[in-house]
Structure 1
Amino acid sequence: MKLTFRIQYHTVWGEDLRVIFDEGDPLFLQLSTRDGSEWKGSCDYSPAESGCPITYRYGVFRDGMCIRKELGAIAHTVYSGNVQQHQYLIEDCWRDLPTENYRYSSAFNDVHPLTSPNRLSNNVGSCITFRALCPGLHVQGQELGIIGSCSALGNWEYCRPIRMHEVASGVWQLTLDASALKSPFEYKFVAINEKTGAVEEWETRPNRLFQIRPLQRGETYLPAEAEVFFNRPACRIAGTAIPVFSLRSEGSCGVGDFGDLKRFITWAIETGQRAVQILPINDTTMTGTWIDSYPYNSISIYAFHPMYIDLRQLPALNDEEAMKAFERRRITLNGLSQVDYEKVNCLKREYLHTLFHQEQEQFLEMPEFKAFVQKNEEWLQPYAAFSVLRDRNGTADFRRWGVDSVYQADRVQQMCIPGSTYYEDICFYYFLQYYLHVQLLDACTYGRSQGVIVKGDIPIGISRNSVEAWVEPYYFNMNGQAGAPPDAFSTNGQNWGMPTYNWQVMEKDQYHWWQRRFRKMAEYFTAYRIDHILGFFRIWEIPYHSVHGLLGQFVPSLPMSKEEIQSFGLDFDKERMTRPYIDDQLIDKLFGDKAHEVRHTFLKHLPSKLYALRPEYNTQRKVETYFDGKDDPASTDMREKLYSLISDVLFIADRDDPNKFHPRIAVQNEPVFCHLSAKEQQAFNRLYDHYYYQRHNEFWYHEAMKKLPILLQATPMLVCGEDLGMVPGCVPWVMNQLQILSLEIQRMPKQTGIEFGRPENYPYLSVCTIGTHDMTTLRGWWKEDSTVTDRFYHNELHYWGTTPEEAPGWLCEEIVRRHLQCPSMLCILTWQDWTAMDEAIRNADIDAERINIPANPHNYWRWRMHITLEKLMSLTDFNQHIRQMIAESGRADG
């Protein structure tokens, strides 16, 4: 078949336009132009398989490299017609994301059967194929139709439109006999009733005009795809954020599970909510202790944590005495106010081991199980092998596994073969992941069937002791640690300890690793939160010898040469400015009566009357090792102060080029900065502002646009980004261009110069919330700093009189109402903040509701609901009140 493409797109000198066919390794058709605006080209092309559609995108190329490509998950599509149709004349326009791209996401589209494109009989000589984009019609009980001014299009009679065919979600096509359409004619796209076919809505624009020369036999003309709009209100939705581990029901086992998640979705439905957001649910089992409770440090980006299995959905143990003993322990654990991570996982693991041995023979022969293993073999086998080797070696640090410390695909396959000494243990992990898959899929499918968005969470990092680090180490920089620069959560920055990504390697295969990860999420969720989306622009990378985050640098970034530093008026001295500034006055001030001990043990005197750290203590990791096991307050205090000495530098050498440098983050309050002259301080501040707030905007914009468009095209999920922290100016550019929902929090305003954000001014493409899992709850924040809450009470809420010491229910309700009424598409509040409105229901212990303290690297993630889901469902008045508030805010029918 011959394809002829025509498109109008303005280019500049040196650029050319190409058609990129999306089958396997991309094929290109280079178009030609006379004026740089109108492009045309032809080629002979056949799909790889007969009947398959031809998908393609347009790209702008310079010097043979693609510098821009059409965005979005929806590619242009051409379907072959009858045997007469052998030449296709394709009129196109450049298409980035549809205007309301969120409507095309799985969050706002139900699952329904699609139809094949219609094909005319072989005696039809020439055809016209109309193409249109219009999502969400089936939710309204409608389909797309076309109606127009000629008889073949119904002569504008509302009962005679022509039905179109939905060939992909939100993508409609219709092929008609060209001889029946006398050009010129006018037409419109219409929404028609699925059952009767009658027009119910007309698109909101002037009539479309069709005019073309007569077509020759065998020609098919495809007008430019139309984006069709109907008069639909903007979707606004309310929901709740809660970790799965925090859910509590009468039958759970001391921790929330996927059965509880389904019950919680039912509560959301009954209160008029249409979104439930959870934290990461991946397997974090490394040490077998409570340290593994941190949900953002998983051993697999695919496997789920075994503690989320709902045992109630599995067979009971045949041994009645064992079952009774289990039930006694379960009741005890379920009565605890917080998750006892170690005892819960020990009990569940024991139960599941016993059950597996009981059901093993029958289970391994289940067709559904075999199909699951076959479909997920690529990640399931390495995960199961990793878990077995972790158990047998007593550590998740695969570097200590001897012969297995380096991943060998052949050896793993041998481990997974029936009859191997590992096989039974391998199958146990298959067993766990199969039931986790079944139960989560059931909960999410239930939510989707009820119009509820179930929103997952994709952590930015991976553990250095994970399946991915073992199997695919080439994708990561193991000598770096991901983290975050200092912010309101942590004055020393955050060091997550995770390796950073080798983006250069990932780019070579079009970020296949990330695409696989996103597609796995899409099996369950209809929306997801990208944790720390800033990491796709740049990551804060901390050298492995550091404990705190202050000695990090952004990667990628543009370090500064000595000459460039001096151009700001600062006389750069590498010896003085890249080493800690330590003098007697500082030592005495920091260490007091311990100053002599510090000088003697950790420091050496320099000829300049300054001090340097001894080689055996000149990094934070070396100091950490020295104090290992010394947990008394005095040792802890000395260790932290030594850390601060080590990070007291003005510049940090670049990790790749030691002759280039980065200004140390937040150094202005450090002794090394205070010892600069006033002129030097001014010069440094000019350099600092340029480096952190101006220098990288364009650079980081292009870095993000290399990655995010490809990843967003991988699935139809709704995308939300956690864009908090030190946000570069280019982040809103990218998020707006890609229609990624931002995160808006009133106590963390993005506009400079104000103390609190204004919910009424939030952008529509955003998620608004009162607080996240990393923050205090509304009631916790209210009592943190009375001077801050006093200003909020009077200046934002506009109340008179004395500010309440603790937030009463009526005040919490007022704040919730203001958030519900804001323009944001999603208003997702923590469950603690919903219950804060009712003083008879909310937890009396405010501090117990805190989930995470980011400044504490050893936080125990163990918060639980203080009432059961059964009790929550029975609170008729409370639940009806939430439903009414949501309805009054206009979020009930979003």
Structure 2
Amino acid sequence: MKLSFHLRYKTVWGETLHAVLYRAHATASERKINIPLSTQDGENWSGEIQILLKQPAELAYHYELRQGARVLRREWQSVPRSLYADPAASHYFLQDQWRALPEESWLYSSAVTDVFRRRETHPASPLKLFTRTLILRAQTPRPVPGQTLFVCGGAPELGGWNPQKALPMSEGEFNEWSLSLDADAVSCPLEYKFIIRVKDETLWEEGPNRLLYAPEIKNGEVWVQDDLRPRFTDPAPLRAAGAVIPVFSLRSEDGWGAGDFGDLEKLTDWAVRTGQRVIQILPINDTTLTRTWQDSYPYNAVSVYAFHPLYADVRRLPAADAKTAKRFEAERKKLNALPQIDYEAALRLKLERLQHAFAQEGKRVLASPEFRRFYLENEHWLPAYAMFCVLRDRYQTADFSAWPQHSFFSRGEMANFCAPYSPDYDEVCFWYYVQYILHAQLLAAVKRAREKGIILKGDIPIGISPHSVEAWTEKELFCLDAQAGAPPDDFSATGQNWGFPTYNWDVMARDGYRWWVRRFTHMARYFDAYRIDHVLGFFRIWEIPSHSVQGLLGQFSPALPMDAQEIESFGLPFKPEYLRPYISEQILFEKFGDLAKEVKKHYLAPAAQQGLYDLLPSYDTQRKIQAAFAGKTDEKSLRLQNELYALASNVLFVPDRKDASKYHPRISALSDAAFRALSQPEKEAFTHLYNEYFFRRHNQFWKDEAMKKLPALTQATRLLACAEDLGMIPDCVPDVLKELQMLSLEIQRMPKRLGDTFADTAHYPYLSVATPSTHDMSVLRGWWKETPALTRRFWNEVLGSPGEAPAEADGKTCEKILNQHLQSPAMLALISFQDWTSMDEKLRSKDPEAERINVPANPRHYWRYRMPMTLEKLLQEEAFNAKIRGMIESAKR
């Protein structure tokens, strides 16, 4: 049997098109056949292959644009092209067009096809073949579950324009519709349209009638027209509301001091009762580095695949003996009664309970076919993770460089360490068991949520811990001598230093970003939507040198630094002293006041330039200053440390990490003393240079960087992609998100339009997530109290209320604000749990600060917020739950 591929795609010199053929639903390791296509004009491409089929088989294929051996672009594959090939046919002609991202790709996401508009998938089956066969294949998400796409045309065989006699198409893959016609029974050109029949009504596609011109088809041949896109508009755009809460914050009557995957099922019941359709959580990756409260930060992953043992629902484990159970119960009750999480005690108790269960049933579970299937699906990370955990606990540190053995990862050593004959095997198996239990419990929660029409939205952290499994096993993918963070913004005036290594994107690109694709594919097993943490990191990351504690001395990576000649072209003579901290008598007086004399004596030395000072070598970086003040918590020491940090960062330029002869203007330098010390002409020149560098220079460069990475990642799965696009946003970001149809994040108090004080919820884009606050912010009630002058403007201008704003946001005020978000055009309105309860003055906490989850300006913040009531009691709050349902129904979500 022969397959012929025909595709129209305009290329430039050096580019070639290829068809890639493989078995449908093949694994990544299965063989794929590359079929080079040829062209005479650089636009019309064709190629063919002879294959041997003894019985009908489902095949899949896609097209790639290449330059030599390098793949420049792949067509959209979230819904694969499939062909049920029958050896009864001698030749299939595939008349295709390049599959770009559909105009409404979100309707192809699993959030829609598996949950919101759940439809049953049908296994591919052979279409009826005739002596000469025409196959029409259309791609459209418009027929909702229970509806069918029809072909209606002028020919009698197509109903003679009578909708009741139209021919039904069959759906194979999601939103892929096919129909086979007897070429001997119809004459071309064939005039027709696609229709959807809804009870007694017929929906005709828009636009002129279609005309099909088929070539001459010989006996035994099949001609497939695969470039059809029916034109229907959606009368009711999909909109949904939901709640945002970390799993650890959930509380239940029989909980173990922190929320778990079992609690997600109770949260699903609450979502159903209130009409919500989305549950968004924070990352659930294992962060166990020290087994102290510092591991409570959920974005410092020790593994990008493994789940945190804290989230195991130990209530579902085999019952312990009476004496042990009594001891566990006493500890459980004590922890569950706490107003906030005791992270260390809760983790310790759960791990002890898991160890006990492993001793009871570990061998049986690990011998089961279900575990074996789980192991095979996760073999690329699970043994390395288990070995890491054993060594971390054995050597009492996750810093693998300090391990006396195995500090350098070896696959051979891992195979021996994890082998059944190894003395370490039992310890390894414990971590296999824990991850399998977590996997099974999360899948159960996801299954129940989907059955109830609720999607779970996960969170992909931008970074990994420098002491993580991935940094140990794949260190070539990371820049371990740099730190990722964020430049100064509304969250922190000195920037944020997350302590993560940055990515070596050049190395990652060599295999098509395999590492990231695996991460996204792993997420797709458990979620139907996801938040990409700090999506700006895919455009450029804020890279901070290892000697810095704060973020001010960072630089964007990748970026286009300036050499001295270019700097001088702006009218600013370049001086080496611009790279050194500018410390004058006036600065010392302003910052230290009565401590200035002590600072000069102990931390400074006179500089070569009269009247200026240099930091002593023992204190000339922020890390050295941090070390000098380690353990000192008195007010004076903290003041000295912070102001010395400020001196160390008081420069105009920072050298490029890769090329020391090039420089970046220091972020926020316009508000610092080094800038104020310039002459007026120098200030004007530096300001011009600064604005050019930060706001114009990189727009196309960063867009190109994002478009190298994001399409491959966001199209690797059918997850609904939502971007966290807050902070210092380059102009190119909205264009990229729009082009890739990723949902932006819209926050009323953080407007994106220059000059606005508040964002207008009524004009949010449809492809967006509307929310009053995030886990990195004060809750709505906390924000209300922060800046009274700003609150009054909001009260007068946004809520339209006269006079002074009340000091506290009462329930009615919070309800108005939430309603604005629900009524917005945004596809998703996701409200933090604390903001939902802000409407009810009996349910909300007395102190809004107690409801805050994170303070980004504090790198040592303890993440320990818990719901003030149990989920069981929340389900009984009939008036509150009815209020939420009414608001959501009124907003038509």
When structure 1 is superposed on structure 2, of 267-276 and 18-27 the one drifting more is: 18-27
Q: What letter is aligned with 1:29? A: P
The answer to whether the 8 Å contact 2:58/2:124 transfers is no
The answer to whether the 8 Å contact 1:117/1:165 transfers is no
Counterparts of 2:662 and 2:422 in 1: how far apart (Å)? 54
> Who is 1:184 aligned against?
189
CA drift at 1:712: 1.4
Correspondence for 1:282 among 262, 267, 285: 285
Counterparts of 2:54 and 2:474 in 1: how far apart (Å)? 33
Task: Give the SS at the match of 2:692.
Answer: helix
The answer to whether the 8 Å contact 1:255/1:334 transfers is yes
> Who is 2:28 aligned against?
none
Deviations along 1:738-776, whole A, 9 cap, x unmatched?
000000001000000110000001000000000000001
Q: How does 1:873-884 map to 2 (within 5 A)?
A: 873-884=875-886
TM-score by length of 1: 0.95
Counterparts of 1:466 and 1:795 in 2: how far apart (Å)? 48
Task: Give the SS at the match of 2:380.
Answer: helix
The answer to whether the 8 Å contact 1:619/1:646 transfers is yes
Residue 115 (1) aligns with residue 123 (2): yes
Deviations along 1:569-596, whole A, 9 cap, x unmatched?
11111x2111111122322332233323
The answer to whether the 8 Å contact 2:54/2:87 transfers is no
The answer to whether the 8 Å contact 1:604/1:614 transfers is yes
Correspondence for 2:460 among 438, 458, 461: 458
Q: What letter is aligned with 2:590? A: K
> Who is 2:103 aligned against?
99
The answer to whether the 8 Å contact 1:106/1:716 transfers is yes
> Who is 2:783 aligned against?
781
> Who is 1:601 aligned against?
602
The answer to whether the 8 Å contact 2:7/2:46 transfers is no
The answer to whether the 8 Å contact 1:118/1:175 transfers is no
Counterparts of 2:64 and 2:195 in 1: how far apart (Å)? 28
| Aligned sequence identity (%) | 48
Correspondence for 1:566 among 565, 568, 573: 568
**CA separation of 1:64/1:472 partners in 2, compared to 1, >3 Å: closer, same or farther?**
closer
CA drift at 1:231: 4.6
CA drift at 1:49: 11
The answer to whether the 8 Å contact 2:9/2:98 transfers is yes
Q: What letter is aligned with 2:132? A: S
When structure 1 is superposed on structure 2, of 649-658 and 211-220 the one drifting more is: 211-220
Counterparts of 1:325 and 1:742 in 2: how far apart (Å)? 48
Q: How does 1:138-537 map to 2 (within 5 A)?
A: 140-191=145-196, 201-232=203-234, 233-317=236-320, 319-537=321-539
Counterparts of 2:862 and 2:873 in 1: how far apart (Å)? 26
Q: How does 1:132-143 map to 2 (within 5 A)?
A: 132-135=138-141, 137=143, 140-143=145-148
Q: What letter is aligned with 1:100? A: E
Deviations along 1:286-331, whole A, 9 cap, x unmatched?
11110000000011111101111112222210x2011112111111
CA drift at 1:102: 0.3
CA drift at 1:266: 1.2
Correspondence for 1:41 among 27, 38, 46: 46
Q: State the superposition RMSD in angstroms.
A: 2.2
**CA separation of 1:668/1:230 partners in 2, compared to 1, >3 Å: closer, same or farther?**
same
Q: What letter is aligned with 1:182? A: S
Q: What letter is aligned with 1:549? A: G
CA drift at 1:837: 1.0
Counterparts of 2:474 and 2:690 in 1: how far apart (Å)? 37
Q: What letter is aligned with 1:134? A: T
The answer to whether the 8 Å contact 1:538/1:557 transfers is yes
CA drift at 1:64: 7.8
CA drift at 1:453: 1.5
Deviations along 1:434-466, whole A, 9 cap, x unmatched?
111111111111111222111000000000010
> Who is 1:21 aligned against?
20
Q: What letter is aligned with 2:627? A: T
> Who is 1:85 aligned against?
90
Counterparts of 2:493 and 2:374 in 1: how far apart (Å)? 46
The answer to whether the 8 Å contact 1:770/1:829 transfers is yes
> Who is 2:26 aligned against?
none
**CA separation of 1:695/1:518 partners in 2, compared to 1, >3 Å: closer, same or farther?**
same
**CA separation of 1:212/1:20 partners in 2, compared to 1, >3 Å: closer, same or farther?**
closer
Task: Give the SS at the match of 2:136.
Answer: strand
**CA separation of 1:46/1:646 partners in 2, compared to 1, >3 Å: closer, same or farther?**
farther
Unaligned runs of 5+ in 1: none
Counterparts of 2:841 and 2:218 in 1: how far apart (Å)? 77
When structure 1 is superposed on structure 2, of 351-360 and 520-529 the one drifting more is: 351-360
**CA separation of 1:87/1:309 partners in 2, compared to 1, >3 Å: closer, same or farther?**
closer
> Who is 1:706 aligned against?
708
Counterparts of 2:796 and 2:388 in 1: how far apart (Å)? 57
CA drift at 1:236: 0.5
> Who is 1:125 aligned against?
131
Task: Give the SS at the match of 1:108.
Answer: helix
Deviations along 1:143-182, whole A, 9 cap, x unmatched?
3333333343343444444333333222222333322222
The answer to whether the 8 Å contact 1:118/1:174 transfers is no
Deviations along 1:709-741, whole A, 9 cap, x unmatched?
111121100000000000001111110000000
Q: How does 1:657-668 map to 2 (within 5 A)?
A: 657-668=659-670
The answer to whether the 8 Å contact 1:267/1:873 transfers is yes
Unaligned runs of 5+ in 2: 23-30
Q: What letter is aligned with 1:130? A: L
Q: What letter is aligned with 2:135? A: T
The answer to whether the 8 Å contact 1:82/1:119 transfers is no
Q: What letter is aligned with 1:527? A: A
The answer to whether the 8 Å contact 1:416/1:426 transfers is yes
Q: What letter is aligned with 1:388? A: V
Q: What letter is aligned with 1:597? A: E
Deviations along 1:34-69, whole A, 9 cap, x unmatched?
4x6x4132332549998242412253x668865555
The answer to whether the 8 Å contact 2:142/2:232 transfers is no
Q: How does 1:631-780 map to 2 (within 5 A)?
A: 631-780=633-782
CA drift at 1:216: 2.2
**CA separation of 1:265/1:176 partners in 2, compared to 1, >3 Å: closer, same or farther?**
same
Deviations along 1:496-538, whole A, 9 cap, x unmatched?
0000000000000000000111111000100000000000000
Task: Give the SS at the match of 2:120.
Answer: coil
Task: Give the SS at the match of 2:110.
Answer: coil
Q: What letter is aligned with 2:318? A: P
**CA separation of 1:200/1:269 partners in 2, compared to 1, >3 Å: closer, same or farther?**
farther
Counterparts of 2:411 and 2:64 in 1: how far apart (Å)? 38
Task: Give the SS at the match of 2:46.
Answer: strand
> Who is 2:27 aligned against?
none
The answer to whether the 8 Å contact 1:159/1:199 transfers is no
Counterparts of 2:240 and 2:164 in 1: how far apart (Å)? 34
Counterparts of 1:47 and 1:312 in 2: how far apart (Å)? 55
Deviations along 1:759-811, whole A, 9 cap, x unmatched?
00100000000000000111010011100000000011111122111001111
Counterparts of 1:326 and 1:261 in 2: how far apart (Å)? 22
CA drift at 1:3: 4.6
When structure 1 is superposed on structure 2, of 633-642 and 806-815 the one drifting more is: 633-642
